[in-house]
Each structure stands twice: as C-alpha cells, then as structure tokens.
Structure 1
Amino acid sequence: MQMGMTLSSKITEAMERGSWVRKMFEDGKKLKDEYGVENVFDFSLGNPIVDPPAAFQAALKEVVDEPVAGKHGYIPNQGLPAARAKVAEYLSGRYAAEFALERIVMTVGAGGGLNVVFKSILDPGDEVVLLTPFFMEYISYVENHLGAPVMVPLADDFSLDLGAIEQALTAKTRAILINTPNNPTGTLLSQDDLDGLGRVLRAAEEKYGTSIYLVYDDPYGQLLYDAPLPDPFKAYGRTVFASSFSKDLGIAGERLGYLALDTNVEDGDLLTATFVFANRTLGFVNAPNLMQRVIAKLDTLEVELPEYRMRRDLMVEILREAGYDFVTPQGGFFIFPKSPIPDDVAFVAQVAKEHKLLLVPGTGFARPGYFRLSYSVPVEQIERSRELFKKVLEQYRLQG
C-alpha cells in the first residue's frame, strides 16, 4: 500500500492563505507566454523597478576586486562592525535618537529580521497585534515562534484606530507590528498617529504590568512623497526598528536588512544579544557578507528616488481620472483602491481573464473589498493602462 505524503497542516494552511501574490505571478506568466508581454498589464508584483545607484555598483566592484584574505569566510553573527556603524550613522541622522553599532544587528532582509525579533520576545501564546491590511507573511512570522496574531483593522483612511487597538491589548500582548509606508496601501502614519499609539501602549503596560514592544517595519522608509517622516523613537521608548535595503537601494534579491535599537532603550544590550543568538539559531547565521562589505563602503545610505514619485503621480492621475475610490499613497509603490464590487476576489479574477489586467485582491492582505496594484512597473505600461482602467470601471458601472 502506498503511503501518502505527510505535511504540516499548519504549513499547508499558511500556503493557502498566502497564495494570492504567487497565484497572480503564475497566472501572469501564463498570460504573457500566450499573448505576449506587451499585451498583459501586470500590476501584481512589488519588485523594485529602479536599479541600484552608481555608488553601489562602484562599491560592489571594489569589494569583489579587492584582494582580502578570508573574504568569504564566516563573520560575526551580529554583522560586520563597519556595516553596523554605517547603519547607526544613517539612523542617527534620520531620527531624533542616537544609535551605535553595538545595538545594530544585520539580518537576512527585513523578513529575516522580524523572525529574529519574534523568536527573541515571544513565549507560546503571546499575542502580537497586526493592523489590517498587512503583508500576509506577518501571520507566519508570528506563528513561526508560537505567537498568536491579533488582527485589528486600520481606520477607513488607513490611519490608526487607537480605540480598537486599546481594546485589543491584553495581558498577553507582547508586541504590535507597524508597517509604514504601508504594503499594500502606500499610506504613511503621521507623528500624531505614533504619539497616540505610544500613549496607548504605555497605558496598557501600566495596566497589565507587562512590557510591550513597538516593532516598526520600515523597508519603504526612503520612498516618501508629500509627507514628513514620522519618528517612532519620539513616540515610544520600547521600539524595535526593522528595515532592509531591498527597496531604496533596489537590491531585494540580495536579502540584506537590519534591526536597530536606539541607545536609550531599556535592556538594550540584553535584547541585542538575544537578537544575535536568534539570528544564529534560526539558521541565518549572519546576513550576506558581500553585501555588508558593499554597504560599509558607501558614503551615505540616503538615496533619492524620483522615479517612484513620478510613477505614483501618473498612477494616481489615471485612477482618479477613471473614477476609482482610493487613498493617495504617501510612500512605497502600492495603491489600494476599493473594488468596484464587494467580492474583490471575483473582480480580480474577472479582469485578469477578460482584460489581462493583473491585480491582487485585498482579501490577500486581510482587507476584503479592495485590490492592490504596484506602480513599480515600466512607465510605458502605466501610460498604456489609462484607457483600460476606465474601461474596467465603466463595465462594472453598467452592470449595476
């Protein structure tokens, strides 16, 4: 008798839950193979469209060419001191807080960093508040370490609903995970949002006699438009900052990120040591050595990315002209309009089939009734989509 394959029910459930972006990628490949790339309007993927800057390319060549013995051997699990110093310098110039290399941990992307954080702070059953809509891998990042995700909706304009957050906090709450600029909405939390959240978290800590971390996921932090940069360190003292170089430097495939604690955070040395231990025992061991060496050679980690602002402006113009209902994104490279029908999954499936237009349903981000599109695509594709977006919305209006 042939035995069936034994798989984790938890993993198969997570695969089904997080399959939307993968499904759109696979559907898009089939459509492109059948009809040609130029005839498919793929707005489904969040892959950086802008190549790394010239300074990065020059530093990469220098690192590859320099004759350093042991260049490809093991390095400290926390990361190269020179790379950590560069990150600390960058953050100290960006926020009203001080950072030192001793409190920086280089990680395998921001996703690896978040797993390190939750491995470090969660005991079984500890709760992590997630704000919908959110990047659906967050659920797995929490459950990987036996935590319990608690989902709280953002307000209709995607600002914080502080009352809902306050009601969701319990004696088991260990962290709240914030992503701003947000994937999938592109919206940016204001300083007032963060200050209010800080007050709510401090009150909950006092009420329950516990510690709650603000885990601040910031991979789109340099892609800002029309809005001042909020400062989580001003708002709340127990902040863990996670980010990567995937979007701003355009090196998503190189998987280089970091965790940062400011110099004033309580028990910062112990928390950092725990991150380093988790980095090693999760099997990451250390972040990519070569990329750390490149980062360390850059004069600055600050970049200007007008290409994304230009795409944002064009995409907003097209959607507004067509009549879609959406909140204008203030960062990142996503927009999250309302679906013209309540069933966002049916809408996305139909426009893919009938119009070769690839979007991702809001259901895939725990926010039904919306759809996500990425404007990290060629400008020519955005321009060619103008009449298509009008046609699609008009079709649904005619259907009633």
Structure 2
Amino acid sequence: MRVLLTSWGSRGDVEPLVALAIEVRELGAEAVVCAPPDEEFVKLLEQAGVPSVPLGPTVHSVVAGPKPPTGEDALKLAPALVAARFETLSAAAEEGCDAILATGLLPAGARDVAEKLGIPYVYACFHTFGLPSRHFAPGMRPGTPSPEGETDNRVLWRQDAERVDALYGGALNSHRAAIGLPPVDNVRDHVFTGSPWLAADPVLCPSEGMTDLDLVPTGAWIRPDDRPLPAALEEFLDSGEPPVYVGFGSMAAYAPKDIARVAIESARGLGRRILLARGWAGLASIDDAGDCFVVGEVNQQALFRRVAAVVHHGGAGTTTTASRAGAPQVVVPRIADQPFWAGRVAELGIGVAHQDPLPTVESLTAALTTALSPATGARAKAVADTIRTDGATVAAKLLVSAKDG
C-alpha cells in the first residue's frame, strides 16, 4: 500500500506527518510526504528516511518578510497552492496511490485529486478551532468581514464559508473542470469532509461537542526524537539552574517586537538564566553575558525537560511538547489557533495565557512568576503523565485500513 500525506504550513503542520509516515512504514506500507520545500522541512524528512516531494513555494518566502502577509497576499497564495496541489499530488500519485491525507493551510485540491483517482481522502486537523461550531465564532480570515454586531455563530460560520469560496473557489472549480469533475459550491466543507480526523491530545484539546462534524480523534502525532542536545547547550544547562526557554518558532514577522530584550530582562529580574531559540524571528541576545544562550533547531522533547519554563507562541506542536515534558508555560498567542492553546494551558493550570500580544517586562515578569510557582510546576508534572503518545500509531492503522473501508 502507498499513501500520500500532504501539508503546506509551518513546522507544526509538517512534523506530525513525519510521525505518521514513520508509523505507516512500521505497518509495512509506504508513505510519501508532499510538503513545502523549506530547507528545514526537507532535512527533517531526510533524517527520518521519509520520501518527500516539494509542494508549492517555501513557507519562509511567504511569512518571513518584514511585515506579516496581507489579505492581498492571501488572494494570490490561495490559487497558487490549489494549482500546486493538483499538479504535485497528481504527479506523485502516478506511481500508484491508495489514499491521500491532507492537513495544514486549507488543502483545497487534495480531495479532488483523490476523487479523480477514486481513492479515499482524509482531512486531518490539529485542533478544533477552525471547525464549524455552534459554540464559538470562526477566526479571522481574509475577505469581506462579517457585519459588526453579528453574534449568531451559525451565521458567522456561513459567512466564513463564503470567504473561503472567495479565496479558493474559482481556482478549485477551474482545476476540477480541467480533469472532468463537477464544481463544488462550499469549498470549506468539501475540504473538511463530514468526518475529519483530530490529531490532538484529548486532555489538551477535548473534542466532545466542540463541532457539528463527526470527528475522529486519534491523539497527537508525535515524532519520537532521540537526537542528543549540542555539546555547548549541554554545557550551558549543566552550569547552573534550569533556564527559562523563549521561542516563537516559525512566527518570523509575527513575533512580538523586542521580545528577546523583554524576556531577558524579565528572567534576569527573577534571578533566572535564559535560553533563546533563534527561530525564524531571529531572536538574539542583547549582550555577551553568560546567563543567556541562543540555540537553533534542537530536540525540544529533551530540552523542555530541563528548563524552568517555556515561553512560546502557542503552536499546537510546541504546546504539546512542553505539556508532555511537564514544563510550566507562558503562552503569548499571536494568530490563528494560538489563543485557543493559550486558553487551554491556563484552564489546565499548567501555565499562563499572556493574551496581550505585546508583552512588557512587567507583564512577562508577572506571568513568569505564576508559571514558576511550585503549584504550577506540580500541576504541569501531573498533566504530563496524562499526555498520550500513540496518536500516530492509531492514525496509521486507520489510514492503512482506509482502502478496505
């Protein structure tokens, strides 16, 4: 059996597919990942021995400018990604394909290639935030905003679907027509299907009653990482008390202004050392003091077990990794699902949601004081013991059996 796994988005959208591909391979099947050609992602797939095919432009080229992407940028990107999926997935499937699983930035085009081939299609998501629900409103999306004062969630989600159609509908139906398929009139629901898979930990992201769709929870797809930490980092960790980790992953232009300075001053004010993750935002130390260390891409699973707290943006992957490590968290959400994860961290008592997206030294110090308290630390360790690690295995078994189902 051969399956195509595809995503376009940040590392948090790609790494779970690596975990799934490894588990599919363990079951005797073949998995190929179609993902953005960013060097970081290509290296990640190569290290895992997972065959890959480049899909679309690099994510870095889209999000790493001096300013966040605009609505006009989204209007250009959406049809380009639709075209890339039709071309790339169709070509990758020529060698034989038994199923397609898609995730990441709305993967319009993936289901359509599967439909043409007559094979199963699965849409997977890493949270419930973007799924239609009677309980909460949709997030921000480029396009005509909903009227001010509208509070009916059913109306708001219908208007969200209209925005998706404006972004993707023309391109999707043009490509469908080119391969002999009829048009679709609700792109969002067409992509999501009636039964999306939820690849999230049930403690961190409870799913019951959260959406009108028939969710298939699998648990989070976690790639086991046994890489050793760099020798210089080990030396820093061993030379004093556990530091406060600060990183914003792939946020690039979305990272809070002056966050490195703010974090360093906050940590020092509390008598703590600090560990900065460079990331796409290029975080760097403000001086040459020995209490601050800057690190590139490393094994976070190992690292987070050795830090006093994790300050981050609230991506699904980082939140899950920190929670599994039992590290208290301060989440500074910026976009998309990040406020959801910040809220869950606070609700579970395993950290603090810093909902103001622009921390000051004073506000971050207050948040860290709570996160570093014995009560938060104890709660974080207790919740860590409940985090499941078999999600990718569960999903792989479902996927491998999808052809027969």
Instruction: Determine if the TM-score, normalized by the shorter chain, exceeds 0.5.
Output: no
Question: With structure 2 as the length reference, what TM-score do the two structures score?
Answer: 0.30
Question: With structure 1 as the length reference, what TM-score do the two structures score?
Answer: 0.31
